[in-house]
Amino acid sequence: MKIPDFLVKTYIAIIILIIYLPLVFVVLLSFKSGANISFPIERFTLDWYLKPPTGYEYAAYVSLFHDRQFFAALRNSFTVSIVVALMAMALVTITALAFRRRMAGRNFLFYLFLLGFLTPGVTVGLGVNFLFRLLNLPFSFWSAALINVIYVVPFGLILMMARFDPNLLFYEQAAAVLKAPPLMIFRRITLPLIIYEVISAAILGFLLSWGEVIRTQFAMKGIGTLSTFINTQLGVNPLTPKWYAAGTLISAVSFLGFLVFAYLLTRTVRQ
């Protein structure tokens, strides 16, 4: 039985509404003039982004661009996410290329990798937190990057393996028959054919780390990343449009990265 087109379109519209309507509310409330979180919005303003402080406000009433802690958390977020992106790019590429070949226990190892995102974040966070304390290691952006890499690598691995050119292995074997060394084969044949997947894995790692809260809060002390900073501040400060402005900026970075990610996934390299 064929499903009518209007039912399919209605279903898609409802899903899109559920996903993006909360984001629309976040953006609108970030420009609200008053401190109360409510509708209707009487007047729109940029005060929560730009207004200079008078020196007497609580943290929840200081605009974003005049909040030093906010910028410290923003810097931490970029640092952690960039490190995660680079580490994920290397690990995903190496692992995906290795899993193409038949080896003993390949399926078991593949599903073992998938546990990185199937295991609850609280469980991983508690374990990593104890491990760092046991080894007397400092909690820094490196510890946050490590726990986030465990989380993002399985996503990148599935993405890359699903998009491999099925003839890639034959191209490599042909080059090997012609006595090309392994490094040259990778640089001249393999990498050009998977370059978009490699970059996509890095972008995906950045985006997943950029918004991660649960795992990061166990592995980084102090101000933390932007997501953990906002989560902590909401526990001790009132909810004001300032935090919606912060959410808008976080979403803007994520949306921009998603556009680049989607563009790369639509491209195909043939050589």
What pLDDT sits at residue 269? 47
CA distances from 245 to 48, 69, 83, 130, 164 (A): 7, 15, 26, 35, 40
Distance CA 110, CA 158 (A): 10
Q: Is the pLDDT of residue 96 over 80?
A: yes
pLDDT, one tens digit per residue, over 234-265 is 888 888 888 889 889 888 988 898 888 888 87
User: ∠185-191-193 over CA atoms, to 5°?
Assistant: 105
Q: By three-state DSSP, how is residue 57 classified?
A: coil
Listed by start position, the domains of the chain span 68-265
| Sequence-ordered alpha helix ranges (H) in 100-190 | 106-118, 121-134, 141-162, 168-177, 182-185
Distance CA 137, CA 125 (A): 15
pLDDT, one tens digit per residue, over 129-170 is 888 888 888 888 788 888 899 889 888 888 887 777 777 778
Average pLDDT score over the chain: 83
CA distances from 168 to 2, 177, 185, 194, 199 (A): 39, 14, 11, 9, 18
CATH superfamily of 68-265: MetI-like (1.10.3720.10)
What pLDDT sits at residue 271? 43
pLDDT, one tens digit per residue, over 103-119 is 777 778 887 878 777 88
Q: Cα-Cα-Cα-Cα dihedral of 127, 130, 135, 141, to 10°?
A: 80
pTM of the model: 0.84
Residue 99's identity, in one-letter code, is: F
